[in-house]
Amino acid sequence: MRVLLTGASGQVGHEIERLALAGFDLLARTSSQLDITDASAVLAAASDFKPDIIMNAAAYTAVDQAESESECAWSVNKTGPTNLAKAAQNVGAAVFHLSTDYVFAGDSKCAYRETDAPGPTGVYGASKLAGEQALMAEVQRSLILRTSWVFGVHGKNFVKTMLKMGAEREELRVVADQRGCPTSAASIANCLWALAAHYRKAGDLQWGTYHFAGSPVCTWHDFAQEILNRALQAGLLHRLPVLCPITTQDYPTPAQRPAFSVLDCSQIQHTFGISQPDWRDDLDEVLEQLRLQ
């Protein structure tokens, strides 16, 4: 099977390329090699390579910046998937696409299921939701994987920020009233390849939207504490900074953050037997890779 990957230099894109399963012919394209907002370039790339699957890891992910750069966010997050959908239709490819917990309002008290009504509160979430809808409207064989709180070895993420600030400062203030599920980029890549393997074996899939995120649920403060403790054990830090819990109100941001961002991942388990990874194990792996760098 031939797989065309877009956004190959992002956190998840990088891991999709690194963890590619044997027997898949992967063509990985970074943003400079293939701009998904360029409809004719996307069409040409698909016509040349003739993929069976287009995996889209490209996105505009700067949540706060999106509020002031909405045109750019909408272009990458909505027009991009629309272009990929048209190209997929043209060559008969399926599309695997990534989306986010930010499509929900984050004001629920129980984990969000795929069937729950979306209600994004900012430009990023709204543009990602529009991308999902554009893809679904165009391509029957589309699989959307919503995930949350992504971390990994490559790119910018909370783990790397905590390591940097933990080494520089005596005290860190981290939000303790937002709950979610950290998810490693590698576990997302493994999940996508497992789905691709199902597709290759069965010649079909139960298409649609699925939630996939790490377990257990935690706050950013809990996550920070685990990162710092484990980094100390791994020798990436020489002492523990003091970690102070703060509220969302203490840390104002241009984009509103969901208070409750927990995704119910039972559907992907039930349909494909894919379990939620324990993000603490994945965190150890990421810290080990960072230590070896």
Distance CA 41, CA 63 (A): 26
92 Cβ contact partners less than 8 Å away, ≥ 6 residues apart: none
Is position 79 an interface residue for ligand NAP (rule: CB under 6 A)?
Answer: no
Q: Check residue 118 and give left, alpha or beta (phi > 0: left; psi -120 to 50: alpha).
A: beta
Q: Which stretch binds ligand NAP (CB under 6 A): 31-39, 112-120, 135-143, 160-168?
A: 31-39
Indicate which single residue of 28, 88, 150, 162 sits in contact with ligand NAP (rule: CB under 6 A).
150
Using CB under 6 A, which of 11, 127, 225, 267 touches ligand NAP? Answer: 11
- The closest of 105, 190, 191, 100 to 148, measured between CA atoms, is 100
**Taking contact as CB under 6 A, which single stretch among the options 4-12, 134-142, 217-225, 263-271 is the one that binds ligand NAP?**
4-12
Q: Look at the alpha carbons of 123, 125, 130, 131 in this order and tell me if their dihedral is positive or negative.
A: positive
Q: Which of 120, 31, 119 lies closest to 80 in space, CA to CA?
A: 31
Q: Does 61 bind ligand NAP (CB under 6 A)?
A: yes
Token readout for 140 is: 């029957």
Single out the segment in contact with ligand NAP by CB under 6 A; choices: 56-64, 135-143, 229-237, 242-250: 56-64
Instruction: Residue 116: name the closest of 127, 108, 124 by CA.
Output: 108
Nearest distance in Å: CB 182, ligand NAP: 9
Tokens of 241: 């900074």
Q: Which residue has the tokens 């949540």?
A: 63
* Cβ contact 230:284 at 8 Å: yes
Task: Give the nearest distance from C-beta 109 to ligand NAP in angstroms.
Answer: 21
User: Is residue 190 within the footprint of ligand NAP (CB under 6 A)?
Assistant: no
Site for ligand NAP, residues 97 to 126, rule: CB under 6 A: 98, 100-101
Candidate list 57, 95, 163, 274; residue touching ligand NAP; CB under 6 A: 57
From the candidates 124, 199, 210, 251, give the one annotated as an active-site residue: 124
Contact residues for ligand NAP (CB under 6 A)?
A: 6-7, 9-13, 31, 35-37, 57-61, 76, 80, 98, 100-101, 128, 147-150, 155
